[in-house]
Chains A and B, each alone.
Chain A
Amino acid sequence: MDQTTSDAAIVAGGMTGTELLQHVDRDGAVQQTMAAAVSRSGFLKTALFGAGALFAALNVPGAIAASNDSPNDTAILNYLLTLERVQAAFFGEAERVAAISGRELQAAKIIGAVERAHVAALLERLGAKAIASPSFDFLGTTEDPEAFIKTAVAFEDLGSVSIAGVLPDIQAPAIRTIVASVHTPEARHAGWIRTLAGVDPAPNAIEGVNTQAETLKLVNGTGFIVSEPLTTATLSPSFTG
């Protein structure tokens, strides 16, 4: 976040991404998942996708695109793709696991469906330039109603401020237009899920925005991005035969 934006956020009583995550996570659900990720076994630590790995993935020049988007805009679209994938995976897992119910499950279904549509749109635009999807482990936050709602608030708030944060950096007006239109439902989701959580849906007149670096640091810090489990091997079978 540049100084101008920071000042505006402070003056307006807004929050940085970290403050936002902490604010919506009053009881520490997300903070607990962060702590859990740090304290887990060495096996998982070696499996965790490092922050550097995600940054590197986002900065890969990529194959020749089907479109003529600038490298700058392609990088931003890939960044948004990762954000949307995290959200789509989170709400999709919550729906599949079905450990939540009622209005929360309804929200997971509706928001998840929208996030999947966003992913599909970005994939179509990026074509061969789309980066690979990371794997996710939401550390049980989709399997406990209280943890789910708190993490959902954090994700939707984060999505909203993160999309707003890249809008000025997009070069092509036509891309900026569609990204802005994606921001609107994200903001609606944030208000909706905040209401379900009993949190003020719109506490500030003006809110700060997140840079890519701030958001990626937050997402990586949750420990939600992991490597796929190793389920294929070349060892000779020892089955009974």
Chain B
Amino acid sequence: MVVAVFLTVFGERQALAGTAGSTRSAPAPLTPAFGVPEPKRLGERASAQWAPVHQSAKVRVDADAASAAVAPLPLATPEQTTNVVQVLDRRPTTSGVWVRVRVPGVPKGKEGWVPRKALGSPRSVATELLVDRARHRVTLTRHGRVVFTAPAAVGASGSPTPSGSFYIRNRLTRYRSAFYGPIAFGTSARSAVLTDWPAGGFIGIHGTNRPELIPGNVSHGCVRLRNRDILRLDAIMPIGTPVTIT
């Protein structure tokens, strides 16, 4: 009502101004310099979460500082990259939030709880990598859709590629070793056989200087791809991607 009265009075004044012969015209409406689009929803739900390690700690059986330790949680990987863990669950407690994580361990990795304060911010990935040892094939999906597949070589009978659920920990490049091809991804998987291998016998996914051996059971446990395939994979597989080896 008040607004209506105001508009009426305002309109009458404008009309009166017009009848008085004013030559001033009303300014043109201001056009905003740019527009704001509709609210942007997040994409499809991520396939997994991971987080960098910011404080060395112990991975514990339960979300309790007094529970038994199952694995160490170092700050860095053997390759001197930031250590990362796969985030599986959270639990608020009276001593703060605890996070259930997957970490490297023999033979299938280990799971346990760490204080949230030991980790950095959680990040999400929508990708998953499947290594099918029987079919000698690697397949990457994003939001459940296949975006990459290629033949692979896996471990020989005396040094098998371990099966289980793992994740991508780091990415190495520009090193001087043709044996590993142009790119080598580090995973959380460890060989159950080559436990005395330097740096703990971690399983990588990398290129090769022997492409004629792909597909096959020829490696020391690593997953070898042809160099052109590892380069394609490098362009689309982020750190933290879950790796399932069957």
Interface positions of A (Cβ within 8 A of B): 36, 40-41, 43-44, 47, 69, 92-93, 95-97, 99, 109-110, 112-114, 116-118, 120-121, 124-125, 135-140, 142-145, 172-175, 177-178, 181-182, 226, 229-241
Contacts and interface: CB of A to CB of B under 8 A. Distances in A.
A95 B42 contact: yes
Given A120-B40, A239-B222, A41 B32 contact: no
Contact of B173 (A143, A174, A232, A241): A232
Contacts of B38: 117
Given A97-B122, A237-B206, A118 B36 contact: yes
Interface in B139-173: 159, 169-173
Contacts, number: 184
Contact of B52 (A97, A113, A229, A239): A229
Contacts of A137: 54, 120-121
A232 B171 contact: yes
B106 interface: no
Nearest to B174: A234
Leading 3 A-B pairs by shortest Cβ distance:
A239-B204, A113-B39, A229-B52
A125 B34 contact: yes
A175 B30 CA distance: 10
B131 to A, nearest CB: 14
B202 A174 contact: no
Interface string B62-103: 000000000000010011111010000010100011010000
A230 B169 CA distance: 11
A40 B115 CA distance: 13
Given A114-B39, A174-B31, A240-B204, A234 B175 contact: yes
B122 A237 contact: no
B104 interface: no
A131 B101 CA distance: 34
A231 B204 contact: no
Contact of B197 (A95, A116, A240): A240
Contacts of A99: 90, 92, 97
Interface size of B as a range: 35 or more
- Looking at A137, A177, A181, A235, the one whose CB has the most chain B CB atoms below 10 A away is A235
B82 A237 contact: no
A137 B54 CA distance: 11
Given A96-B49, A174-B32, A175-B33, A40 B177 contact: no
Given A140-B97, A178-B34, A230 B82 contact: yes
Contacts of A135: 121
A238 B90 contact: no
A138 B116 CA distance: 11
Given A96-B42, A109-B41, A239-B222, A177 B32 contact: yes
A189 to B, nearest CB: 12
Given A231-B170, A233-B171, A239-B222, 16 more contacts: A99-B97, A116-B40, A120-B36, A138-B121, A144-B97, A174-B30, A229-B82, A232-B170, A232-B172, A232-B173, A236-B175, A237-B184, A238-B79, A239-B206, A240-B194, A240-B221
Given A44-B54, A137-B120, A182 B36 contact: yes
B204 A181 contact: no
B35 A178 contact: yes
Given A97-B122, A143-B122, A233-B81, A240 B36 contact: no
A93 B123 CA distance: 8
A121 B35 CA distance: 6
- Looking at A36, A97, A114, A238, the one whose CB has the most chain B CB atoms below 10 A away is A238
A235 B180 CA distance: 12
B117 A140 contact: yes
Given A41-B55, A113-B41, A230-B82, A181 B36 contact: yes
B124 interface: yes
